Amino acid sequence: MGFRTVFVLRSVEELSIEETAQSLGIPEATVRSRHFRARQMLRESLAQEVERLGPALFEFGGTHCDRVVAAVLTRLRQTAC
C-alpha cells in the first residue's frame, strides 16, 4: 500500500485523513506525507508528459474539428426552426 492508495482514498474517494489512516492501519502523519508526496509525483509526471508531447498536445484537429462544428451548427439551425 503506497502513494497511489492514499491518493485515491484522499483525493478521489474524499476520505478524511483519520478515515484513511484507520482504513489502511497507518498513522495519520503517514497519510499526510504520502498524500503530499503522491500529489507531487503526479504533478511531476504530468509536467514531463506535457513537456514530451509539446505543441502536439494542443494541436488543432483540422478536418475533424470542422466536421464537429458543422454538425453542431446544423443541429442548432434545425432546432431553431
Residue 35 φ/ψ region, left for φ over 0, alpha for ψ in the -120 to 50 degree band, beta for the rest? alpha
Domain locations in the chain as residue ranges: 3-80
Q: How far apart are CA 17 and CA 22, in angstroms?
A: 9
CATH class, range 3-80: mainly alpha
- Residuewise pLDDT in 10s, the chain (81 residues): 699 999 999 999 999 999 999 999 999 999 999 999 999 999 999 999 988 888 777 777 777 788 889 999 999 999 876
User: Quick one: CA dihedral 8, 12, 17, 18, positive or negative?
Assistant: negative
